[in-house]
Amino acid sequence: MPTFIKLHSWKPYTLKSSMILEIITYILSFFSLIIAFVDNTFSIKMYNITAITCLLALILRGRQKNYNIKNLILPLSIIIIGLLDLIWYSIFKVDNSPFRATYHSYLNTAKIFIFGSFIVFLALTSQLKYKKESVLYILYSLSFIIAGYAMYINSIHEYDRISFGVGTATGAAYSTMLIGIVSGVAILYTKKNHPFLFLLNSCAALYILALTQTRATLLLFPVICAVTLIAYYNKSPKKYTSAIVLLIAILASVVIIFNKPIQNRYNEALNDLNSYTNANSVTSLGARLAMYEIGLDIFKKSPFSFRSAESRAESMNLLVAEHNRLRGALEFSNVHLHNEIIEAASLKGLMGIFSTIFLYFSLFYTAYKKRALGLLILTLGIVGIGLSDVIIWARSIPIIVISAIVLLLVINNRNNTINQE
């Protein structure tokens, strides 16, 4: 009995400590998001600190009433991907492999997603109550800070396509779009949620995307912006109409200002398609289409099996030997197949497909159950990017994905707190 009383007397202190650590976790998630954009080496260290802080917060918090299936589905889908990648890495990784970079990228993803499942679970089950808007304005400023940084880089360096610290122009574009979604959604949850403020954010993000010259995001991001405006302002006809008019005006301005690079990329896409129909896949778009065809063929031959990166590359070489028109895919045999589901299928079979689809489902499910518009919009971005590339891979973008999910859940928790009063 005395022991029980002693333990019980410590509970308020452990809960308070847990709340402090939880707040620190969210602050570190914010910095992880930013650092992953500019330095993919240091970002993993920051992310590890975030994960450790989160685990301490969960341990001190103890079990809560809201530890239920609704709040477990998304963390479960994230940890399944992490564990699957870790198992795949453990089975096939060998020293001095020519595919060392591929294995290392999947190991990084495994760590990020396993830790990330706990950080997301912390945010889903959070009972913090706060109403200050300062956090929202800090998140809203992200797109403008990055746009300013992009403008500075563009003024001192003559890059064809800007890449920041992510490593590639496409990676920078995907990161920008995901951060732009977080930034844009943040302003919608403030009292001054005028569509013009949202569209200013969209304009800043589109400026950066134009500098990366990444076709997928230049097409996808405006669609996501339009969906967001329609979903949020559908009960306010005046704001809804002005938002759509402003969006069209901004898109027209971006097209006019960046007409030359956008036109060049559009013409390249048409030329790539024309080349592919003439049995030439050694182009940007042609290589993607060749990878999709090869990846599906590899999966069909052995749908229930895991296979190594070496085995996949060997199969790719054999298929190209039979069908020379697919040779454009060979350039990426040591990277990935530029489609989330096909990439997972080619290495991890049906289990890979299931884990990816389960993640998508869990994101949509959680967005619906939590009435989280921000998470829904982010999910559309993640799924959209996954159709033409792989973002559940390497370091920077997986960190940005997890951090963005967490921050959008924090924003949604704040909004729910206000609505309940």
Coil, helix or strand at residue 375: helix
pTM for the full predicted model: 0.93
Q: Which of 136, 103, 113 is closest to 336 using CA atoms? A: 103
Q: Which two tokens stand for residue 145?
A: 């800070």
- The kind and range of the H/E element at 26 are helix 2-38
Q: How long a stretch of residues is the chain?
A: 421
Q: Which two tokens stand for residue 20?
A: 């402090």
Q: Which two tokens stand for residue 284?
A: 């940007």
pLDDT of 74-120, one tens digit each? 999 999 999 999 999 999 998 889 999 999 999 999 999 999 999 99
Tell me, what's the pLDDT at 10? Answer: 61
Q: Which of 80, 57, 202 is closest to 127 using CA atoms? A: 57
Answer for the pair 180, 231: CB distance below 8 angstroms, yes or no.
Answer: no
Q: Which two tokens stand for residue 73?
A: 């589905």
Cα separation, 9 vs 23, in Å, equals 23
Cα separation, 350 vs 85, in Å, equals 14
Answer for the pair 177, 209: CB distance below 8 angstroms, yes or no.
Answer: yes
Answer for the pair 53, 17: CB distance below 8 angstroms, yes or no.
Answer: no
Cα separation, 29 vs 368, in Å, equals 23
pLDDT of 315-354, one tens digit each? 999 999 999 999 999 999 889 999 999 999 999 999 999 9
Q: Which of 163, 166, 241, 248 is closest to 203 using CA atoms? A: 248
| Confidence band for 155, pLDDT divided at 50, 70 and 90 | confident
pLDDT of 359-368, one tens digit each? 999 999 999 9
C-alpha torsion 160→165→169→172, nearest 10: -130
Which residues neighbour 156 within 8 Å (Cβ) at sequence distance 6 or greater?
none
Query: Using the 8-state DSSP alphabet, how is residue 189 labeled?
Result: T
pLDDT of 194-249, one tens digit each? 778 888 898 899 899 989 988 889 889 988 988 888 888 877 777 777 777 777 77
Q: Which of 21, 327, 389 is closest to 171 using CA atoms? A: 389
Answer for the pair 218, 205: CB distance below 8 angstroms, yes or no.
Answer: no
Residue type, 409: L
Cα separation, 314 vs 98, in Å, equals 12
- The kind and range of the H/E element at 118 are helix 100-124
Q: Which two tokens stand for residue 107?
A: 């190991």
